């Protein structure tokens, strides 16, 4: 925290000195530095860089740069071509040539003490390790989901954020979207009566059991073009194949969290917030004899059930959640113009439910804005490390249940499976040198 304060003060002192120099040299202060109607002055901006931008990252980057008090200054990516693409995009947006390029985050992070926050949109295998490394370097974090590959990685993210006093937001953006917030709040505030069951959507492609083989070797490009060793990071060594870089890592145990993690990373967080279980994990995972986990029932210590559901039995669209209570039900999914409810009269409270939520929490209904506000205030984000870890622990527990093909009991305080050493060994994975959590 002291380092953050010194960094902010030194930046402000520099800008103050620059402003003083403007008395003699007015042209030293540009309109960009002074800000404008839709842009904060330089002294008030949060400076961001990014690690790994491709695909989903090109949704997050414009969203981040669209915040009026954010300045994006650097891209770190293992591919030279991606560095160049992102630099070109950023420079066009800012109408300058200032975006810097890096290949190795171990060089990037210490080289940029001016950077306050880091956007991480790598593949799944890097989300936790890159977040931990950046937080240790004094950076706040926005990372895409699924945000950890194992229960042990989730624990390490929580501990690192606490130890280094960092702000962290995982990209489960639906917990900030109005329709989902409404459904979650209807459950949390008792408007649905006593909640007995929640439903959480899992992805309709791939399976819970993933591949343990690897793709055939191709000629590896020069390191300056693609740093393959850095792409793999903490994962086991595998031969280079360009398909991995294009997204072909999905469905492979080394790199992915299965169909359950693909959407469960979103929907389990949504459901657990509505159930008031954001700080705990299920105590039981009930095995279902299929390839996806569809229909699995997990139970929390308070007796409430969460059902993993594939397809559109409880919603239309994707990444849905639903809460069933003694007085009715409510839910939402992507593409809804308004939430789904058991009684149309419930929607009469739509605006009030949302305004009460904002007033109680002080949070924006914009996920990226919530991050930026929290970087300034040092308050916890909505998708903070604990919510991430606990909902991802549910993902990992469900996966382990499917892999071992048996019902599992779990102690959410000790964070270990009860009487099942084979399951407990799967709470972590071996990590390749030099990467450690």
Cα dihedral: 121, 60, 95, 376 (round 10): -100
Q: Is 405 exposed, middle or buried (0-12, 13-18, 19+ CB in 10 A)?
A: exposed
Counting every residue written for the chain, the total comes to: 437
Calpha distance 386→280 (Å, rounded) = 9
pLDDT (tens digit, 9 = 90+) per residue, 80-136?
Answer: 999 999 999 999 999 999 999 999 999 999 999 999 999 999 999 999 999 999 999
Residue 287, φ and ψ in degrees, nearest 5: -65, 140
Instruction: Count CB atoms within 10 A of the CB of residue 88.
Output: 12
Calpha distance 7→60 (Å, rounded) = 26
pTM tops 0.85, yes or no: yes
In the chain, the domains with their CATH numbers are 2-173 (3.40.50.720), 175-208+256-366+385-425 (3.30.360)
**What are 46's strand-pairing partners?**
70
pLDDT at 322: 98
Torsion sign, CA atoms 170, 90, 86, 112? negative
Helix (H, G, I), strand (E, B) or coil at 154: helix
On the question of a cis peptide bond just before residue 203, with omega within 30 degrees of 0, the verdict is: no
Calpha distance 111→400 (Å, rounded) = 40
Angle of helix 350-361 relative to helix 178-188, nearest 10 degrees, comes to 80
Calpha distance 400→257 (Å, rounded) = 11
The helix (run of H) or strand (run of E) holding residue 135 is helix 127-136
- The answer to whether 323 and 198 are in contact (CB under 8 A) is yes
Residue range 421-428: mean pLDDT, rounded: 98
pLDDT at 40: 76
Calpha distance 137→312 (Å, rounded) = 43
Calpha distance 371→383 (Å, rounded) = 9
pLDDT (tens digit, 9 = 90+) per residue, 10-45?
Answer: 444 333 333 333 333 333 334 454 455 567 777 789
- The answer to whether 85 and 61 are in contact (CB under 8 A) is no
- The answer to whether 394 and 151 are in contact (CB under 8 A) is no
Residue 331, φ and ψ in degrees, nearest 5: -165, 175
Here the tokens at position 433 are 């040198």
Between the alpha carbon of residue 380 and those of residues 28, 64, 222, 271, the distances in Å are 38, 18, 42, 19
pLDDT (tens digit, 9 = 90+) per residue, 179-227?
Answer: 999 999 999 999 999 999 999 999 999 999 999 999 999 999 999 999 9
pLDDT (tens digit, 9 = 90+) per residue, 215-260?
Answer: 999 999 999 999 999 999 999 999 999 999 999 999 999 999 999 9
- The answer to whether 201 and 192 are in contact (CB under 8 A) is no
In the predicted structure, residue 346 carries a pLDDT above the cut 50: yes
Here the tokens at position 293 are 């986990």
Q: If you write DSSP's letter for every residue of 349-401 in order, what string do you get?
A: GHHHHHHHHHHHH---SSHHHHHHHHHHH-PPPTT-HHHHHHHHHHHHHHHHH
């Amino acid at each position: 925290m002291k380092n953050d304060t010194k960094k902010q003060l030194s930046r402000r002192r520099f800008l103050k000195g620059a402003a003083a120099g403007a008395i003699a040299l007015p042209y030293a202060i540009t309109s960009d530095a002074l800000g404008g109607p839709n842009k904060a002055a330089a002294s008030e901006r949060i400076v961001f860089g990014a690690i790994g931008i491709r695909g989903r990252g090109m949704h997050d980057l414009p969203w981040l740069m669209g915040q009026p008090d954010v300045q994006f200054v650097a891209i770190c990516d293992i591919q030279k071509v991606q560095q160049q693409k992102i630099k070109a995009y950023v420079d066009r947006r800012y109408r300058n040539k200032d975006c810097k390029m890096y290949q190795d985050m171990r060089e990037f992070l210490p080289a940029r003490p001016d950077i306050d926050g880091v956007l991480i949109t790598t593949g799944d295998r890097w989300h936790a390790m890159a977040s931990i490394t950046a937080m240790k370097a004094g950076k706040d974090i926005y990372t895409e989901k699924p945000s950890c590959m194992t229960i042990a990685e989730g624990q390490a993210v929580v501990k690192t954020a606490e130890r280094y006093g960092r702000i962290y937001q995982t990209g489960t953006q639906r917990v900030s979207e109005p329709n989902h917030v409404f459904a979650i709040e209807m459950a949390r505030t008792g408007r649905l009566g006593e909640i007995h069951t929640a439903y959480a959507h899992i992805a309709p492609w791939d399976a819970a059991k993933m591949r343990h083989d690897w793709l055939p070797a191709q000629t590896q490009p020069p390191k300056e073009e693609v740093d393959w060793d850095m792409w793999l990071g903490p994962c086991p060594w595998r031969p280079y194949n360009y398909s991995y870089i294009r997204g072909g890592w999905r469905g492979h145990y080394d790199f992915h969290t299965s169909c359950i993690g693909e959407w469960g990373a979103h929907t389990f967080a949504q459901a657990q917030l509505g159930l008031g279980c954001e700080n705990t994990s299920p105590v039981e995972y009930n095995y279902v004899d299929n390839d996806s986990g569809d229909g699995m029932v997990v139970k929390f210590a308070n007796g409430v059930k969460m059902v993993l559901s594939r397809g559109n039995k409880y919603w239309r669209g994707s990444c849905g959640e639903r809460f069933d209570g003694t007085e009715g039900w409510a839910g939402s999914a992507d593409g809804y113009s308004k939430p789904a409810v058991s009684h149309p009269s419930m929607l009469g409270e739509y605006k009030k439910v949302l305004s009460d939520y904002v007033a109680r929490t002080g949070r924006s209904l914009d996920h990226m804005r919530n991050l930026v506000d929290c970087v300034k205030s040092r308050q916890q984000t909505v998708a903070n490390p604990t919510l991430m870890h606990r909902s991802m622990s549910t993902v990992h527990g469900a996966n382990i249940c499917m892999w071992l093909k048996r019902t599992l009991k779990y102690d959410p305080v000790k964070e270990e499976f009860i009487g099942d050493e084979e399951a407990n060994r799967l709470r972590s994975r071996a990590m390749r040198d030099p990467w450690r959590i």
